[in-house]
Amino acid sequence: MTHLTIRRPDDWHLHLRDGAMLTGIAPESARHFGRAIIMPNLIPPVVTGDQACAYRDRILAALPEGADFTPLMTLYLTEQTDPADVVAAHRDGIISAVKLYPAGATTNSASGVTDFDKVRGTLEAMAEAGIPLCVHGEVVDSDVDIFDREAVFIDRVLEPLRRATPGLKVVMEHITTRQGADYARAGGDTLGATITTHHLVINRNAILVGGIKPHYYCLPVAKREEHRLALRAAATSGNATFFLGTDSAPHIDPLKENACGCAGCFTATNTLSILAEVFEQEGALDKLESFASLNGPAFYGLAPNEARVTLTKGDPVNYPAKIETGDGSVTVFDPMMPLHWRVEE
C-alpha cells in the first residue's frame, strides 16, 4: 500500500500552552488534526468555565487563517471546584471534560487533588451529567518507585474511585504499562484510554542508555520494552477502548536541557507520520483510522470528522528538528527511525 486516506484525526490529549508558545506551536497541531482535548495545566490553571472560555478564545486567535481545528476545552479539577460551574460549563458547550491531576504528579500539577473525598461531589455531578473525567494516573507517594506509579494508581486510586462513582466516564490518559492497557480493556463502555505517539516508539532505554536524553523524558515516564509492546498491541488492535492522545507537551530547549529538565515530548509536528510507520510495522495500517480518528469521538459521543487526510509512502520525510517560537526553540520528538509516510497538505 502506498496511499492511505483516513478521516481527519483528533488528538484527545494536547498541551497548547499560552502566549508566544501557543502562537508558535498551535499551527503544528492545526495542520493535521481536526479537534483536540486541550489540557488546562497553565500557570495559573484553568479552573472555571469563564477561564476555559477565555483560553479557548486565545487558542482560536492563535490559529492560522482558515485552520480546520476545534479546541475542546477542559477544566482542571481542584479541591475547591464548584460542581455547579462544571455542569454549567459543559451544558453551555464550553468544556468537553474535566482533568484530574494528583497534586505533584507532573508539570504544573501543584493545584491538583490530594484528598479525593473533597472532589466526590464534583465527580458525582459529572457522572450525572455525562462529563468525562480525564485522569493522570500516577500516585505521587515517595515510597513508590516512579516506574510503578501507574500500576499502583490503578489499584489504590482508580478502581476505588470508579466503584464509588458508578457511571462516571473516565479516560485513563497516556497509559504506559501493560497493567494500564489490561485494566482499560476490561473496563467496559465507561472507560477509555489514550496512548501517546512517543510511548509507542520509545522504552526507558531511550532516555538512559548512552547518556541522558532529556527530550525523551516525559511523564508518565517510558517503561520497559514489554510495556511498549503491550501499548503497540493495544493501539493497533482496533479495540474502541484505545485512542490517540499525543500528550504533545512543548518546553523550550533550555528547560529540557537542564540539570532539572522539564517532562514532556513535543510530537505534534510529526505524529501522523510516526503513527503510520508504527502501524505499518505492526501490519495494522487498516487500524490507524480507528485509533486516530474514530474511537476517540465515539467515546466522547461525537461524530468523526468529515474531512479526510491522505498519507503517501515514499522516500523518508524530513521534519524540522526544532520549532522556533517567541519564547524560544522547541525540539521536535526524534523517532530514531526514517519516516516514509508523508501527510499530503
* Active-site amino acid positions: 247
Using CB under 6 A as the binding rule, the residues of this chain from 235 to 254 that contact ligand NCD are 247, 249
Nearer to ligand NCD (CB atom), residue 193 or residue 294: 193
Task: By CB under 5 A, name the one of 10, 28, 138, 247 that touches Zn ion.
Answer: 247
Nearer to ligand NCD (CB atom), residue 106 or residue 241: 106
In the bound complex, what is the minimum distance in angstroms from residue 212's beta carbon to ligand NCD?
A: 16
In the bound complex, what is the minimum distance in angstroms from residue 307's beta carbon to ligand NCD?
A: 27
Amino acid sitting at position 28: E
Task: By CB under 6 A, name the one of 41, 111, 271, 290 that touches ligand NCD.
Answer: 41
Helix (H) and strand (E) counts in the chain: 14, 13
| Binding of ligand NCD by 136 (CB under 6 A) | yes
Nearer to Zn ion (CB atom), residue 200 or residue 284: 200
What torsion, rounded to 10 degrees, do the Cα atoms 277, 279, 284, 286 define?
-80
In the bound complex, what is the minimum distance in angstroms from residue 325's beta carbon to ligand NCD?
A: 15
CA 320, CA 174: separation in Å to the nearest integer? 25
CB atoms within 10 A of CB 321: 10
| Binding of ligand NCD by 264 (CB under 6 A) | yes
Site string for ligand NCD, 81-120 (x = CB under 6 A): -------------------------xxx------------
| Binding of ligand NCD by 194 (CB under 6 A) | no
H/E stretch holding 14: strand 11-14
Give CA angle at 127 (122, 129), nearest 5°. Answer: 90
Contact 60, 97 (CB under 8 A): no
Which residue(s) pair with 322 in the sheet? 331
Region for 174 from its dihedrals, namely left if φ exceeds 0, alpha if ψ lies in -120 to 50, beta otherwise: left
In the bound complex, what is the minimum distance in angstroms from residue 65's beta carbon to ligand NCD?
A: 28
Q: Where are the alpha helices (DSSP H) in 11-103?
A: 19-30, 49-62, 83-91
CB atoms within 10 A of CB 267: 27
Among Zn ion, ligand NCD, none, residue 136 binds (CB under 5-8 Å by kind): ligand NCD
In the bound complex, what is the minimum distance in angstroms from residue 299's beta carbon to ligand NCD?
A: 19
| Binding of ligand NCD by 289 (CB under 6 A) | no
> Residue 26: which of 328, 325, 271, 245 has the closest Cα?
325
Which residue(s) pair with 124 in the sheet? none
Nearer to ligand NCD (CB atom), residue 263 or residue 302: 263
| Binding of ligand NCD by 233 (CB under 6 A) | no
For residue 43, what are the contacts with CB-CB under 8 A and spacing of at least 6? 108
Residues engaged in binding ligand NCD (CB under 6 A): 15, 41, 106-108, 136, 218-219, 247, 249, 263-264
Give the residues lining the site for Zn ion (CB under 5 A): 247
